[in-house]
Amino acid sequence: MTGKYDYDLFVIGAGSGGVRAARIAASHGAKVAVAEEYRVGGTCVIRGCVPKKLLVYASHFAEDFEEAAGFGWTVGETSFSWKKLIANKDREIDRLNGIYIRNLEKAGVEIIESRAVLKDANTVRLVADGREITAGRILVAVGATPFRPDLPGVEHAITSNEAFHLDALPGRIVVVGGGYIAVEFAGIFNGLGAETIQLYRGPLFMRGFDEDLRKILAEEMVKKGVDLRMNSDIVAIERKAGELHLKLADGDVLKTDAVMYATGRVPNTAGLGLENAGVALGPKGEILVDRFSKTNIDSIYAVGDVTDRANLTPVAIREGQAFAETVFNDNPVAVDHSIIPTAIFSQPEMGTVGLTEVEARTRHGEIDIYKTSFRPMKGTLSGSDEKTFMKLVVEPASQRVLGVHILGPASGELIQAVGIAVTMGGTKAQFDATIAVHPTAAEELVTLKEKWQPPAARAAD
Ligand code: FAD
């Protein structure tokens, strides 16, 4: 390929979407370069999903040690080293970073360690050395970055980026935000022994998730010791005598050792030169694309978080793959964003796929709900009173399962498998026809008999 350009494809950003697109395009014979300003692997590998999950594992042990007693174990004195955890986590991230680099090199992709910005529809400029490079196609896969509100003293706050590199585990921390990153980090810090407060400015966190999951997660997190404060927000932060004073909107002052903002992420489009090429942006600064991830400019495409479609690694990977197939293999592929199974590594964990009850009612009117809440078998000896909750959202006419929402141990693993059934258009009858796996919590999913009735309807029976 190439012709009049230096490369067939120039990818900006070596994260989940960019790496996949670069490798697949190269495998179809394209001459490809990818520019990365930080570390190859991107957010998920370097400072997102992977290190986060390792910290979640670490934070579960305190509870495991306690629960072991009911099963006859005497656990001796325990202690925790943040430094050791972070060093081990960093070693693993370095290993993965190396694998990503090697895989790109093996595919014949040139890696350029520099920030890249657009000069025009077919030219990028490397910030490291000012070099200008031309390409037939440019793929913008620059991801997103944590949002920090503009308030006095916000420079004292950390985000998830810094949370992975703190010198020490704070004795006290306040996590601000109500999305999945906020609940996950509140669980991590709480499990590791920090006095943890989570503040959210709305009435109930995890907006967009199923109502029941949101409520039960809040109850369970409080039981585990997280001080959850809804309808609460910080207006100013001050550093005083080695601690942080957080001034709240209601006039209260919270004293803490660290404050972490997890209040959303913004597409990384600032200063990228998109205006030089005339690329259209949406209201949040996201790049607007069509089903094939093409922008309004023929030579420029965008995938992943920068397009703000569904900000998850597997989605960015799919979009990157589909882009490369479409453009470099003459095989148009559009990603279907309608059913996306996902896990939240909160404590307890949650898994969710398809429509929430509210979404299903809005779209389909009448719907059937099946739900159950129980104490899992392990709790009988461990003494834990943590609940497991499961809910099926079913379309009455077709009996199609529109959504499944689970809270409890291993929900993330579970929802991947359930996601297959939901993606295939599985019906309630097909769930019921599946033989149960006993004894598991998951067997509830195929043995839910009674439709749930709102309390008023039940009283009238
Ligand atoms: P990224 O992976 O962010 O990659 C973009 C890359 O572009 C970065 O490496 C960046 O340095 C680089 N870059 C930016 N601008 C430039 C430039 N101008 N020049 C050169 N390089 C540039 N998703 C899940 O599916 N599951 C999870 O459990 C999960 N947990 C998460 C936890 C945290 C704390 C965070 C922050 C995110 C998490 N995510 C999770 C989301 C996931 O990380 C993203 O959806 C995914 O990384 C998006 O991939 P991407 O290719 O769009 O961008």
Q: Are both 208 and 293 inside the same structural domain?
A: no
Strand partners, 125: 117, 132
Q: Are both 246 and 235 inside the same structural domain?
A: yes
Distance 283 CA to ligand 1 centre (A): 20
Q: Are both 16 and 131 inside the same structural domain?
A: yes
Q: Are both 140 and 271 inside the same structural domain?
A: yes
Chain centroid to Cα 87, Å, comes to 23
pLDDT of residue 19: 98
pLDDT of residue 1: 56
Q: Are both 139 and 19 inside the same structural domain?
A: yes
Mapped onto helix, strand or coil, the DSSP state of residue 153 is: coil
Domain that holds residue 65: 7-144+266-328
In a domain, 322, yes or no: yes
Instruction: Indicate if the pLDDT at residue 461 is higher than 60.
Output: no
Phi, psi torsion values for 196, nearest 5 degrees: -115, 130
Q: Which atom of ligand 1 is nearest to the CA of 35?
A: 20
The response to whether residue 59 sits with its C-beta less than 6 Å from ligand 1 reads: no
Residues of the chain with pLDDT > 90, as a percent, come to 97
Residue from 28, 245, 364, 438 carrying the catalytic annotation = 438
In a domain, 333, yes or no: no
The response to whether residue 319 sits with its C-beta less than 6 Å from ligand 1 reads: no
E strands present in 6-148:
7-12, 32-36, 110-113, 116-120, 123-126, 132-140, 144-146
CATH number of the CATH domain containing 416:
3.30.390.30
Distance 412 CA to ligand 1 centre (A): 20
Distance 28 CA to ligand 1 centre (A): 25
In a domain, 198, yes or no: yes
pLDDT digits (tens, 9 = 90+) for 433-460: 999 999 999 999 999 998 998 777 555 4
Q: Which atom of ligand 1 is nearest to the CA of 306?
A: 52
8-state DSSP, 287: B
The response to whether residue 272 sits with its C-beta less than 6 Å from ligand 1 reads: yes
Distance 12 CA to ligand 1 centre (A): 12
* Predicted model pTM: 0.96
Q: Are both 140 and 12 inside the same structural domain?
A: yes
Distance 310 CA to ligand 1 centre (A): 12
pLDDT digits (tens, 9 = 90+) for 176-211: 999 999 999 999 999 999 999 999 999 999 999 999
The response to whether residue 21 sits with its C-beta less than 6 Å from ligand 1 reads: no
From 263, 291, 316, the end of a domain falls on 263
Ligand 1, atom 26: closest residue by C-alpha: 49
Cα(372)–Cα(391) distance, rounded to whole angstroms?
7
CATH number of the CATH domain containing 190:
3.50.50.60
Q: Are both 239 and 315 inside the same structural domain?
A: no
- Rg of the chain on CA atoms, in Å: 24
Please provide the average confidence, as pLDDT, over all residues in the chain: 96
In a domain, 337, yes or no: no
Q: Are both 222 and 123 inside the same structural domain?
A: no
pLDDT digits (tens, 9 = 90+) for 387-418: 999 999 999 999 999 999 999 999 999 999 99
Q: Are both 284 and 137 inside the same structural domain?
A: yes
pLDDT digits (tens, 9 = 90+) for 301-310: 999 999 999 9
C-alpha dihedral (433, 434, 435, 438), degrees to nearest 10: -130
In a domain, 336, yes or no: no
The response to whether residue 277 sits with its C-beta less than 6 Å from ligand 1 reads: no
Cα(312)–Cα(48) distance, rounded to whole angstroms?
10
Q: Are both 383 and 444 inside the same structural domain?
A: yes
Q: Which atom of ligand 1 is nearest to the CA of 303?
A: 52
pLDDT of residue 230: 97
From 263, 291, 313, the end of a domain falls on 263
pLDDT of residue 457: 58
In a domain, 460, yes or no: no
Ligand 1, atom 12: closest residue by C-alpha: 13
Q: Are both 313 and 374 inside the same structural domain?
A: no
Ligand 1, atom 43: closest residue by C-alpha: 44
pLDDT digits (tens, 9 = 90+) for 308-366: 999 999 999 999 999 999 999 999 999 999 999 999 999 999 999 999 999 999 999 99
Averaged pLDDT, 8-32:
98
The CA-CA-CA angle for residues 440, 441, 447, to 5°, reads 95
The response to whether residue 18 sits with its C-beta less than 6 Å from ligand 1 reads: yes
Mutate to test the pocket of ligand 1, among 308, 313, 353 (most ligand atoms within 8 A of CB): 313
438 is catalytic: yes
In a domain, 291, yes or no: yes
Ligand 1, atom 22: closest residue by C-alpha: 13
In a domain, 335, yes or no: no
Ligand 1, atom 46: closest residue by C-alpha: 313
pLDDT of residue 453: 86
Averaged pLDDT, 151-169:
98
Q: Are both 11 and 40 inside the same structural domain?
A: yes
Averaged pLDDT, 10-30:
98
Ligand 1, atom 36: closest residue by C-alpha: 48
Q: Which atom of ligand 1 is nearest to the CA of 39?
A: 9
pLDDT of residue 3: 77
Total number of domains constituting the chain: 3
pLDDT digits (tens, 9 = 90+) for 235-285: 999 999 999 999 999 999 999 999 999 999 999 999 999 999 999 999 999
From 248, 263, 278, the end of a domain falls on 263
8-state DSSP, 158: B
